[in-house]
Amino acid sequence: MKKGYIIPVFAALLLTAGACNKNKTASSTSPSSPKDEVVSSKFDRVKPVNSLVVGCQSDVFDVSKGAQINYASGAKVIVPKDAFVDKNGNPVKGEVKLNFAEYNKPEEVIASGLPMCIETTGGEIGYFESAGMYEITAEKDGEELQLASGKNIEIQTMGEKTGEFNFYYYDEERGTWQEQEVSSKQPTPAASLVSNEPIVVEDDELSLPKPQLARSGLPAFDLKIKNLSDYGMDNWESLMWQFKDENSAKDNKWLFERNWSSIQISGFNNRSASCNITAIDYVYDLVEDKKLGKKKKKQRKIEKHCSIVPVLFGNSYKNAMASYQNAIDVEKQQIIRQKKRQRMDKVRNQFVRVANVSNLGVHNWDRIIKQPETIVLNADFNVHGDKQDEDLSVVYMLTGDQKEIVTFYRDNFAFNPSYANTVMVILETGEIATFNTDELSPAELSEAKSTKRIDISLKPTGVYAESTRALGEFIRSQS
């Protein structure tokens, strides 16, 4: 379920913090005003605790060549040539470092400190449902860079949400989101963009061993080894063995100097068909038994190792190679079909959103959803009486099936009683405190609707947001 809120405007002064963020102030090429003017109001970045960070990928490239950078999430950033200028507006030469971070999961949004709300001209606050938020910065020798006039970076992101979403830029200086123009607010199904590039099957992906021609000048020997079918060599006629190299042939004469009790294969390499063998035998030594005052037999294990390769001669090699080539062609086609299925399955439920940005910083695909069931209230927050709402710079709420994250500043609060909502704060110590709105009794809910206010007492959970990952695990445990 998706949800969003509109509640009356309020003012708040808060501490700012950034994660993977270098551009703390608006650049000289700030975006144009949106069609619906946004009132200048502070929704600053608020980082709950220093332990919450979101890693960003950094890539270095020559600014004169530009770059196309692909990320594991499916995101793609395309930078044109000569795209950056320094703080004085001078063109940048040489290598630059591009930093890119995505904030898609609730814990990443919290760790980013970014507000998920916007104040509109009508004096209301709209709460965001995000279809993808990211931050992009650039630097050279530690100095922050800006995009040159007329230069845009194309950013493609992937997600599971469809439908229209607006595109926003976060103005750090004003603490506001500013809507940006995009060619389309609708995403493109990622499946329609699956690459048609040929799939290459590497040798190490193949399971069948490749027949090896016997090397001249090295001794060949026969070994009676069971379970050759396990290694794909059961149809190799007149199979012999050689040591892996010439030195091994000289050093491993011991292999022929006794009748070993057993010889075992291990560490088999499918591509070279090389393997390690372990030769094992048992001997009995006469040892002195001091208690009995006579000698007795004691068993001793002899174990030696060496590396060998299976080899073939003449027609046996030609026949094995012909069979191998036929089998390997079949296996390659099976691997290619599997990779094509995997390529499609990976993006089957994904959608691609594309934006050309003229500013470095934070951008977000968002929309505001208004629901008549939402109750808009003034709230007094406390943590079992210890912390009042003025001590809590920001309060979060996890809502809906997908655990959308909503941020509240100071005493404002809104929620839909028909959804499962978990109100959450992270204390200065890093401990998480929560309150579930379904704990409200019908009488308490009725009074809140009547008075337009509510007292919320959050309970410490004993769980600490020691890392963004730990916070994410806690959030998912609330589902």
pLDDT single digits (tens) 65-123: 999 999 988 899 999 999 999 999 999 999 999 999 999 999 999 999 999 888 877 77
- Rounded average pLDDT over 264-279: 80
Judge whether residue 45 has pLDDT over 50: yes
pLDDT digits (tens, 9 = 90+) for 189-200: 888 877 778 898
Judge whether residue 23 has pLDDT over 50: no
Q: Which strands form 294-311's sheet, in the order they lie side by side?
A: 240-243, 294-311, 275-289, 262-266
| Reported confidence tier of residue 41, pLDDT bands at 50, 70, 90 | low
Q: Around Cβ 121, how many Cβ atoms within 10 Å?
A: 9
Mean pLDDT, the chain, rounded, equals: 84
Write down all domains in the chain, each with its CATH number in brackets: 6-195+350-476 (2.60.220.30), 212-311 (no CATH)
pLDDT > 70: what percent of the chain? Answer: 89
Q: What does the alpha-carbon distance between residue 125 and residue 129 come to, in Å, rounded to a whole number?
A: 13
Buried b (16+ CB within 10 A) or exposed e, 93-120: eeebebbbbbbbbbbbbbbbbbbbbbbb
| Reported confidence tier of residue 20, pLDDT bands at 50, 70, 90 | low
Using DSSP's 3-state secondary structure scheme, residue 76 falls into strand
pLDDT digits (tens, 9 = 90+) for 160-189: 888 999 999 999 888 889 999 998 898 888
Tokens of 194: 């699956």
Looking only at the bridges linking them, the beta strands covering 412-415 and 431-436 are: unpaired
CA dihedral for 158, 162, 164, 169, sign (positive or negative): negative
Distance from CA of residue 180 to its chain's centroid?
A: 27
Q: What does the alpha-carbon distance between residue 282 and residue 297 come to, in Å, rounded to a whole number?
A: 12
pTM for this prediction: 0.67
